[in-house]
Copies of this chain bind each other. A is one copy, B any other.
Amino acid sequence: MSSRHLHLNVNLLHSGVYASAWRLPDSDPRACFDAGHYVRVARIAERGKLDAIFLADTPAVTDRIDYRPFQSMEPTIVLATVAASTSHIGLIATASTTYNEPYNIARRFATLDLASGGRAGWNAVTTADAASSRNFGLPGVLEHKARYDRAKEFAEIVHALWDSWEDDAFVGDKATARFVDTSKVHPIAHRGPYYSVAGPLNVPRSPQGRPVTVQAGGSNDGRDLAAAQAEAVFTLAQTIDEGAAYARDLRTRAAAYSRSGESIVILPGLATVIGSTEAEAKRRQDELWELVPIEYSLARLASTLQIDPAQLELDKPLPDPLPLPANANHTMFQGTVNLARRGNLTVRQLLRALGGGVGHRIIVGTPEHIADDIEAWFRAGAADGFNLMPDVLPTGLEVFVDTVVPILQKRGLFRKDYSGSTLRDHFGLPRPPSRFATQVAAAASA
């Protein structure tokens, strides 16, 4: 295996990334309400030696649930269930910095990290949609920059709380009745523009020190936040050039924060439709596409662009100009517009290229073809790996694990077995020391 390692997560989007995945004969329509479904998919991912499963999240009904499954169950609860039935696979859950308190998030993920033996990751998002804001007493979405300023302070607090116990604070000496050495448990005494949090956390550190911080920022503010704080990034790129440009930009920004940009694991989304022949793969894609109601695709595209569906004409290109809405999901908006403009696509062609709502890059082909593509992106520095979005779950992941993974392993690109047990081990990330332990050590040597 080369010194750079490929990383693969599965983005566990309930029935699969296609809006029509639940309609296939083998699919269980109730999958998105069934923790057992998540456990089954996670076990397949673990069999394939993948790095982690990843759960997106929105605290509201935002998609068109009359047409399709959606993110329903709260991700940390689902992952705690998965943790009990797996031993190695990493567990990344999304949680909003806008609609939670930092102490609660720090504690919940620290608990998941302990319960899973050091396999937790937190995907910090700022949550842009209006439906969520109305579930939390806000008349509208916070302005973009304010969301990101809050998010930055929020994550700083969470990280400080995760450091508030030094690694050797627990004593547990029955003879002397000393349970914890409280001189090694530190208040964080945070006072900032948005939050005041005294600390310490009431949860000690886990085998990996603290959960891995993941982000998905595509906007200027989002990239800056990722550069400052993220250890892994979930991004959107439709071409190798886009992916490579994003990676260069992020690593350069990281340097401005005195961080090694090389250590950030960059994972574009990749939707997969696999067949044993090219023709079989295309037939599967056709079947999935035809089962997506056109009204749904249109509604989803209009929502991404934040325009009235009536503005979209199926056999014409997108309206031009199309200004970036103030509170759009920047990554998704820009990716969609770029895709349309680059191919000079009509709305109908665009809908199909988007898989009727997939949004991320879709690859359709044989296992060999998909392995070639993954290798090309990896070698070009356009990705450290991928956040895989199988067309249908669990079947689309099963075929990936059984056919694509062995090729990647044979080429020396992907691990044949786990070499460690924590998510940091899988991602090749260092175990961060507690900042408080460092201060004490520095003070002692000064």
Q: Which residues of A contact B (CB under 8 A)?
A: 20, 22-23, 25, 27, 29-30, 33-35, 39, 58-61, 65-74, 76-78, 80-81, 83-85, 99-101, 103-104, 107-108, 110-112, 114-115, 131, 134-137, 170, 172, 174, 177-182, 185, 195-200, 202-204, 291, 293
Contact = CB atoms under 8 A, between A and B. Distances in A.
Nearest to A74: B111
Contact of A179 (B65, B100, B112): B65
B136 A30 contact: no
Contact of A65 (B103, B180, B196): B180
B197 A35 contact: no
B22 A66 contact: no
A291 B76 contact: no
A115 B204 contact: no
Given A39-B84, A72-B111, A77-B80, 5 more contacts: A66-B182, A77-B112, A81-B83, A99-B104, A177-B293
Nearest to A169: B65
A13 to B, nearest CB: 14
Contacts of A59: 103-104, 107, 202
Contacts of A111: 72-74, 77-78
Given A23-B177, A77-B108, A174-B22, A196 B137 contact: yes
B114 A104 contact: no
Number of copies: 2
A180 B134 CA distance: 22
21 contacts: A27-B174, A30-B172, A33-B114, A33-B170, A34-B114, A58-B202, A65-B185, A66-B178, A72-B202, A72-B203, A72-B204, A74-B104, A81-B83, A81-B84, A84-B84, A100-B101, A101-B136, A103-B135, A134-B197, A135-B198, A177-B291
Contacts of A71: 202
A373 B71 CA distance: 49
A231 to B, nearest CB: 21
Contacts of A177: 20, 23, 67, 291, 293
Contact of A70 (B107, B181, B196, B202): B202
A22 B65 contact: no
A259 to B, nearest CB: 28
A103 B138 CA distance: 13
Contacts of A204: 33, 72
The winner among A20, A114, A131 for most chain B CB atoms within 10 A is A114
A172 B81 CA distance: 24
A111 B197 CA distance: 28
A74 B99 CA distance: 18
A203 B73 contact: yes
Given A22-B172, A172-B22, A202-B59, A195 B137 contact: yes
Nearest to A31: B172
The winner among A22, A108, A137 for most chain B CB atoms within 10 A is A137
Contacts of A103: 59, 99, 135-136
A76 B202 CA distance: 15
